Amino acid sequence: MLIVLFQGCGHTSDNLQKSTYIGGEIINPTTDHVLIRRRGKLLDTVFLDEDNRFSYKIDSAEHGLYLIQHKPETQNLYVAPGDSLLLRVNTLAFDESIHFSGKGNAENNFMSEMFLLDEANSKLLLSFDDYPPAEFQKIADSIHQERLNELQKIAKKKKFSNDFVALAKDVIKYENFDLKERYTYLVTKYFKEYAKQFPENFHDYRKTADFNSEALQCSPGYKRFLENYLINYSLSWCATSGLDSADCSSLTDVENVMARIRKAGELVQLSSLRQSLLKKIAVRGVVMAESRDHIIAIINELRNQKLPEEDIDEMRQLGTIQLAYLPGTSVANVRLLNLEGEFVKINDVLEKPTVIFLWSVYKTGHLEEHKLINQFRKKYPDVDFIGINLDIKEEPAWRVAVRNNNYNTNFEYQLAPTRINKKFFEYYLDKMLFLDPSGEVVNGDTYLTSPRFETTILELLNQ
């Protein structure tokens, strides 16, 4: 989690006179910079020096949560006017290694520790079916109280401000709310017996939840609560809407997606938070859309919610990519760049049934992915497996990666420049594209790690 991006999520205040300093060191950086955002807007891009250190001055810092991020990691940061914070982190073990020093360090180290404890809640959810709803409610509330007790003890010792204590209590509260929402989803989808046993007051917290907390809009736990609440809302809505029950259990069903979009638009009015929620829901729907009509329906719903036109255009670009993954679509004329520097079309390189996988030099996992692909090449010699690199216009980085990792040069290409912003292709890094020898899509909805991956290969061969 690391970016220095200051996305101010705290409340405005009149005493913003003192300068605040943020700096630190990133061990094993993944990029050469950190970003600083405030309320969803980029304040600055701060580059790392030769020692992988950075520094930034905020002349008018607000009390409250900021978001610190170094792609692909993000971390909350609590800032008060006059603070002078230094952080040190190793990206190889980000959450476990992050440490703050300087003025304001106690609050931020406490926040980091609470984040790790919240992550541990996921282990509890792995065995959710061991706990009937009433028992799970007691466990969740006990965890909540333990967190509050720890805050009270440390606040007294470290002399935390009333502002920070109030904010920390809210962060802990919404982590509790989110834990219950995640449990509700698991029970509703996978354990119908427990779904009938919820105590009458289990979801009472929803009555008091604030869906427009300006102070918490940067909190990962708060945003996760909103997302999971919306998921559970859409499942409940679907169950009473007369739709097929199988569709109700699918979070990517177009009606389910649009129900979440409508509810998010109704509940959330904070501009930045509302925008990010709507886009996140829509992205999932578009990437998994089963038809052109579904893509259009999602985009039209976003337009009904008055999402900015630039965001609508982004969804259109994403939808254009998804169209290429729909069965029956021809991608024969898609342009690629070969290792000799020549532009070719997919149709020029197809000789037999083919599986296409996407990868990027800057995304971890491509080495392991290629190893798996090589295993399938040996097992299925009647199928070609072609890698398409997405680092458009970055030929040297691509060529070096192919050479240094000994990737099979007979099956490596780079996507040619396109009008679609390359960032949108990243949503498809895990999706595999199954083509017949003519370049027509047979399947575009299977993942390399899916249990159905080999079955889909056999279906391709048996066409």
> Which tens digits make up the pLDDT trace of 325-337?
999 999 999 999 9
pLDDT value for 154: 95
Residue 170 scores a pLDDT above 80: yes
Whose CA is closest to 382, among 294, 287, 271, 461? Answer: 461
Residue 107 scores a pLDDT above 70: yes
Q: Which helix (H) or strand (E) holds 24?
A: strand 20-27
**CA-based torsion, 424, 426, 427, 433: positive or negative:** positive
Whose CA is closest to 386, among 344, 326, 438, 433? Answer: 433
Confidence of residue 56 (pLDDT cuts 50, 70, 90): confident
pLDDT value for 250: 79
pLDDT value for 209: 97
Confidence of residue 60 (pLDDT cuts 50, 70, 90): confident
Residue 210 scores a pLDDT above 90: yes
Mean pLDDT of 385-414: 95
Between CA 262 and CA 259 the distance in angstroms is 5
Between CA 317 and CA 336 the distance in angstroms is 19
Confidence of residue 13 (pLDDT cuts 50, 70, 90): very low
Between CA 407 and CA 411 the distance in angstroms is 8
pLDDT value for 116: 83
pLDDT in tens, 134-155: 999 999 999 999 999 999 999 9
pLDDT value for 39: 66
Work out the mean pLDDT of the chain and round it to a whole number: 90
* Sequence-distant (≥ 6) Cβ neighbours of residue 389 within 8 angstroms: 358, 359, 360, 361, 398, 401, 402, 412, 413, 414, 415
The answer to whether the CB of 259 falls within 8 A of the CB of 242 is no
Which of the two residues, 43 and 390, has the higher pLDDT score? 390
Only one residue has tokens 């705290």, namely 10
Between CA 90 and CA 265 the distance in angstroms is 38
Residue 219 scores a pLDDT above 90: no
pLDDT value for 247: 60
64 sits in the region (left: phi over 0; alpha: psi -120 to 50; else beta) called left
Confidence of residue 6 (pLDDT cuts 50, 70, 90): very low
At 91, give phi and psi (nearest 5°): -65, -15
Its CATH architecture, for the domain 3-95, is Sandwich (2.60)
In the chain, the percentage of residues whose pLDDT exceeds 90 is: 68
pLDDT value for 359: 96
pLDDT value for 38: 67
Whose CA is closest to 63, among 112, 32, 18? Answer: 18
pLDDT value for 206: 97
Least confident stretch, 81-85, 208-212, 295-299, 308-312:
81-85
pTM of the entire predicted model:
0.86
Least confident stretch, 77-86, 166-175, 179-188:
77-86
The number of beta carbons lying within 10 Å of the beta carbon of residue 333 is 10
Whose CA is closest to 434, among 367, 388, 384, 390? Answer: 384
Specify the CATH superfamily of domain 335-461: Glutaredoxin (3.40.30.10)
Bridge partners of 102, per DSSP, are 85
The answer to whether the CB of 279 falls within 8 A of the CB of 314 is yes
Question: Which amino acid belongs to residue 47?
Answer: F
Confidence of residue 239 (pLDDT cuts 50, 70, 90): confident
Bridge partners of 66, per DSSP, are 77
In the chain, the percentage of residues whose pLDDT exceeds 70 is: 94
Between CA 267 and CA 265 the distance in angstroms is 6
* Sequence-distant (≥ 6) Cβ neighbours of residue 166 within 8 angstroms: none
Residues in the chain: 463
At 347, give phi and psi (nearest 5°): -60, -30
Least confident stretch, 2-6, 45-49, 78-82, 247-251:
2-6
pLDDT in tens, 258-272: 999 999 999 999 998
Strands 99-103 and 84-90: antiparallel
Between CA 300 and CA 244 the distance in angstroms is 23
